[in-house]
Amino acid sequence: MNKAKFLKKSILFATIGILALSFIPAVSAGVPGHSKDRPGYNNLVLPYFLPHLYWEFSTSEDLYFNVGWYTSPEEIEEDICPKHPWKYKLFINNEEINLQRFGFIIGGVKVSYWYHVFGPGYFEAGEEYLLRFEFWVKRPYQGDGLNYWRIFVWYPTGWEFTVEYYLNIVA
């Protein structure tokens, strides 16, 4: 009889614990220090978003990579883009760099950012660094029916979201 009561209480406790944990967001809503404490011009993603400008990154400065993604409810409803989860992958000279993620919700839209801080001295002046980043999705979209991790494809053009360019690192 005691075993039955113990089992019932254990199941009840486990259920309440799981429910309580489900209310804790998986992504921290706070903005990490790299976004507040570092100048925007030290973001290694800038040569992609502003290619018309000439970008030099100094070995003595605090460099970082920061990129984000969001999908509006309309884009999901119209099946233009997939629902969360998404992720970015970053490679420097074909070596994968571990990215951290943070996110928040604005007006019902989930916004996610991925970043890595390299810091001063990580890169050497005059060395060649090929930066590549890829955007990965998991859920089906555009009627593809796929439900596994793969690189995002913009179906109207067939473009795979893979970007690569060389970094210009100076002393």
In this prediction, residues 89-105 reach a mean pLDDT of 93
pTM for the model stands at 0.75
Q: Is the pLDDT of residue 120 over 60?
A: yes
Count the neighbouring beta carbons within 10 Å of the beta carbon of residue 89: 17
Extract the tokens encoding 21. Answer: 């944990």
Contacts of 48 (CB under 8 A, 6+ apart): 133, 163, 165
Where do the domains of the chain lie, and which CATH numbers do they carry? 28-170 (2.60.40)
Instruction: Look up residue 20 and give its amino acid.
Output: A
In this prediction, residues 39-62 reach a mean pLDDT of 89
Q: What's the CA gap between 109 and 111, in Å, rounded?
A: 6
